[in-house]
Amino acid sequence: MFEGLFDRPITVAQQWAGPLLEERLRYLSHLAEQGVGRHALQVRAYYLLVVAQRLRLAERPGELISSGEIDRQARRWALQPGPRKVIGSAWQRMYFRRYATRWLHFCGRLQPLSEPPHRYAEKIAAFADFLRREKGLAPSTIRSGCSIVREFLDRLGLAAGDSLGTISMTKLDDALAEYVAAGGYSRGTVQLIVGNLRAFFRYAEMCHWSRPGLAAGLKAPRVFAQAALPVRPTWHEVQQVLALTKGNQPTDIRDHAVLLLLTVYGLRAGEVVRLRLNDLDWEKELLTVVRSKSGRSQIYPLSRVVGTALIRYLREARPRASLREVFVTRYPPFRPMDCGTLYLIVARRLRAVNPSLAHYGPHALRHACATHLLEQGLSLKEIGDHLGHRHPDTTRIYAKVDLARLRQVADFDLGGVL
């Protein structure tokens, strides 16, 4: 099988010599029978070998592997250098977890989810409910914050009989320093982590679970609001990217529709992958978008160029799947497109135009859309409404991009004033 998947003899040899050969071949044959294509099988074969090595599966015959162990190994592996790897890449962690979980489930070696609950599961659930009811945060924000809290509490290393009330400020500082050092996080990410921990310990103090003053004692590095310009491609580069996808191949047709949604409407990645067929009102020429952060629906007029690209994708490039999502995987088994796949689509296209761009993700196109609207003379309020911002401060960063107007301010003659 490997000779038919890979062209390089050294890659074929590595696959044949790798651990759990029989189990890997059985799973790949199963996928091939389901209609999975050659490229997808190549990717899965690569990750199966990595998973078998990282989890030491051959040394632990018959042992069940937990989801927690898969997550830990995915993070560690993503942080290590290697060929064709982006250190710390979120999508590589995601693929490691996804393919490891599916393969181990197929082999009967995935530990059931009926594990003992986290020792602070009830408190974290109460905190999540508080964030939902009192703060009105989006489900994705709540999940992310609770995940940080859960992982941090594990790092505290409290004994089985200890409660949150035994945590001292010294222990909290030491655990935070270790947590940050292990992750190699940027200042902005550290500030986000500390913000979530402050919110949790503030709630814990309110519920009398912990000592007072812990939340106030947590210190984060200072990050100045709007200190940096949003990283984005120029509008000329955006036009080049769109021109590259005007071909007749199914991937070009799909990518063109995706890129237009990101650039014309400035949508977030999650908003694109969650787009459903019933969100497209062809008769009234309307597009409904469910916002990732607020969960609210926003209705746009369906641009003719976007509508034409979507119709072409639905007619010529979208697989005949029963799914209601607009964008689905190209090969069976068909599933809705995820944010990781969307990132790869955008990154590949942007790299072809500007290899030195600092960020290649879908959010870079959202910034490009906002900057282009500013250059066309729209106000910050209008841009914020278009992007679905709930607070005007979120849009204010784009005022720094309007360099022409900033130069006019800098060149203003103060001779008559001074």
Q: Which of the residues 268, 318, 349, 386 is marked catalytic? A: 268
Please, what's the b/e burial string for 103-137 (b: 16 or more CB within 10 A of its CB; e: otherwise)? bbeeeebbeeeeeeeeebeebbeebbebbeeeeeb
Q: Which of the residues 97, 232, 274, 363 is marked catalytic? A: 363
* DSSP-assigned states of every residue in 201-262: HHHHHHTTSS-TTHHHH-------TT-SPPP---HHHHHHHHHHT-SSSHHHHHHHHHHHHH
293 counts as catalytic: yes
Q: Which of the residues 54, 254, 274, 389 is marked catalytic? A: 389
Which residues, at least 6 apart from 185, have a Cβ–Cβ distance to it below 8 Å? 193
Q: Is residue 52 a contact partner of residue 18, using CB atoms and an 8 Å limit?
A: yes
Residue 260 CA to residue 349 CA, distance in Å, equals: 13
Residue 258 CA to residue 266 CA, distance in Å, equals: 11
105 counts as catalytic: no
Residue 386 CA to residue 80 CA, distance in Å, equals: 40
118 counts as catalytic: no
Residue 110 CA to residue 96 CA, distance in Å, equals: 14
291 counts as catalytic: no
366 counts as catalytic: yes
From residue 400, alpha-carbon distances to 47, 115, 218, 226, 336 in Å are 43, 50, 32, 9, 37
268 counts as catalytic: yes
Q: What is the DSSP letter of 278?
A: G
Q: Which of the residues 150, 198, 293, 396 is marked catalytic? A: 293
Q: Which of the residues 366, 367, 372, 386 is marked catalytic? A: 366
**Catalytically annotated residues:** 268, 293, 363, 366, 389, 398
